[in-house]
Amino acid sequence: VGREPPWAHRVFHHYRERLGWRYGSARELEHRKRVFVHNMRWGRVGTRPRGAAEGRWEQLSALAPRQVRAVTPVKDQAVCGSCWSFATTGAMEGALFLKVRAGRPRGASRWGPRLGPCSVSLSPQTGVLTPLSQQVLIDCSWGFGNYACDGGEEWRAYEWIKKHGGIASTESYGSYKGQLPPLPQNGLCHYNQSEMLGRITGYVNITSGNITAVKTALYKHGPVAVSIDASHKSFSFYSNGVYYEPKCANTTGALDHAVLAVGYGVLQGETYWLVKNSWSTYWGNDGYILMAMRDNNCGVATEATYPILA
């Protein structure tokens, strides 16, 4: 019997907590974990498009995240429903990075090159990329209607950032914990006002379902926080190709996960969004997914937002 990959145990328990899986015995738990690993191996094969040029797609996999200079490395929200904080900070990081694009040297390329079989539209490549703290939003934005690991919304996080004159960097506030007591505690929120970054005047709710408007926002403003329907097994086991789920919903009430749209393009005739998730680099294609644009599949264009810097 082959040994499980070293990451399998961690990924299984990640989804076990996220989806509330419960088992009656240790034996059943072990059996279910083996089934999960088997399904994951199946998924990483089954989601590859038939006839795809594997070498060229792997080239895209290696290059695309590095070309999106306004995006920090993929993170792991762990067993915490804090996706909203990752989407918010991702949009803020991109906005701060692009704000200083006037300092770009003359003659420097504004847009990413053609990558493999895709033509990808990316953000201007200037500025300083500073990782921002998800934990400060988790700890401090309870009064704005967010519930830390029990969920939240990006617009509420933007409201907190607006009122408090910015957001803390990861370096100044401390690392992400990935867990929190069910209720806020005194002293948990501890940011230093003098170290806050990125004052905003507000945020934009892009017209729901307007794919052109989302493209324009990505082109002009950088990464956009979006909500999607991530409830399907095909999404959990995605690994490659353009993701299209016929059963995916795109109405506001059905969207259950916040992610970051960072670009768009075409792969073998299929238009897609390049999306950064917060389920670690073990998930998807190094933490990324190409989500089909057609039919507004899974609702990428339904609830898209980005901040306006002061």
Q: What is the pLDDT of residues 201-223, one digit of tens each?
A: 999 999 999 999 999 999 889 99
pLDDT for 294 equals 97
19 and 147 fall within a common domain: no
Q: Could you give the CA distance from residue 196 to residue 165 in angstroms, rounded to a whole number?
A: 7
79 and 20 fall within a common domain: no
The catalytically annotated residue of 146, 240, 250, 277 is 277
Cα 293 to Cα 211, 225, 244, 271, distances in angstroms: 8, 16, 9, 6
Q: Could you give the CA distance from residue 14 to residue 79 in angstroms, rounded to a whole number?
A: 6
Please confirm, yes or no, whether 257 is among the known catalytic residues. Answer: yes
234 and 280 fall within a common domain: yes
The catalytically annotated residue of 14, 80, 83, 297 is 83
The catalytically annotated residue of 140, 221, 257, 285 is 257
- pTM here is 0.76
Q: What residues are paired with 228 via a beta bridge?
A: 257
Please confirm, yes or no, whether 296 is among the known catalytic residues. Answer: no
296 and 225 fall within a common domain: yes
Please confirm, yes or no, whether 149 is among the known catalytic residues. Answer: no
pLDDT for 66 equals 35
Residue 276, domain extent: 47-309
108 and 23 fall within a common domain: no
Beta strands in the chain (DSSP E): 200-205, 224-228, 242-243, 257-267, 270-276, 288-292, 305-309
Closest CA to 29 of 44, 18, 11, 16: 16
120 and 17 fall within a common domain: no
18 and 81 fall within a common domain: no
pLDDT digits (tens, 9 = 90+) for 126-176: 467 999 999 999 999 999 999 999 999 999 999 999 999 999 999 999 999
Provide the number of structural domains found in the chain: 2
4 and 130 fall within a common domain: no
